[in-house]
Structure 1
Amino acid sequence: MASQVAAFDAKQKLSELLNRAHGGETIVITRHGVPYAKLVPIEAPADRQEAKHHLLERLRTQASLNLPPVPREWLYERDSI
């Protein structure tokens, strides 16, 4: 069963809650007694190949903005004062 923590307490104890989640605990964050969010441990991929596969799959399915290329010099323009 998940532990419940009020939002105010979660802000005060975020590091502790992160450590607990890293240890496998699930924590439900509530606001005025109503569940708002869940802090859960992540499941790390078994190896680099699996992590690479997950990343490439996400990039493949992610929507593209189809923006035109940006000239390199635009990245370094500075407004004069």
Structure 2
Amino acid sequence: MEKAVSAADANRRFSQLLHGVRQGRSYIVTSHGRPVAKISPADEPGNIEAGARKALLDRLRHQTAVKIGRWTRDELYEDAR
């Protein structure tokens, strides 16, 4: 769960917030009661790309191939004109 913290408080306690982030906590920074930023643990390098690649490949593996027959070059590019 993300904890809300005011911008002024975040400024005063930044080291403490970073300590909490290292432990896996996330914070929403507010200004005048409105959310303006999020402080959360950074993903390990490549985790986002690897997750996106895995999701795409999983979807493609389970997607049914559609046979639409042959098409001409003109049919293929007719919408691009």
| TM-score, normalization by structure 1 | 0.53
Spell out the pairing of 1:1-81 with structure 2 (5 A cutoff).
1-45=1-45
In the TM superposition, residue 42 of structure 1 has moved relative to its aligned partner by 1.0
Give the share of equivalent positions with the same residue, in percent.
Answer: 37
Q: How big is the alpha-carbon RMSD for the aligned residues of Structure 1 and Structure 2?
A: 1.9
Structure 1, unaligned runs of 5 or more: 51-81
| Higher Cα radius of gyration | 2
Q: In the TM superposition, what is the alpha-carbon distance from 1:43 to its structure 2 partner?
A: 2.0
Q: Choose between structure 1 and 2: higher helix proportion.
A: 2
Return 5+ residue gaps in structure 2 as ranges.
47-81
User: Residue 18 of structure 2 aligns to a residue in which SS?
Assistant: helix
- Find runs of 4+ consecutive structure 1 residues off by over 4 angstroms: none
CA distance in 1, matches of 2:19, 2:40: 11
Aligned length: 48
- Once residues 41 and 4 of structure 1 are traced to their aligned partners in structure 2, the CA distance between those partners, rounded to angstroms, is 15
Normalised to the residue count of structure 2, the TM-score between the two structures is 0.53
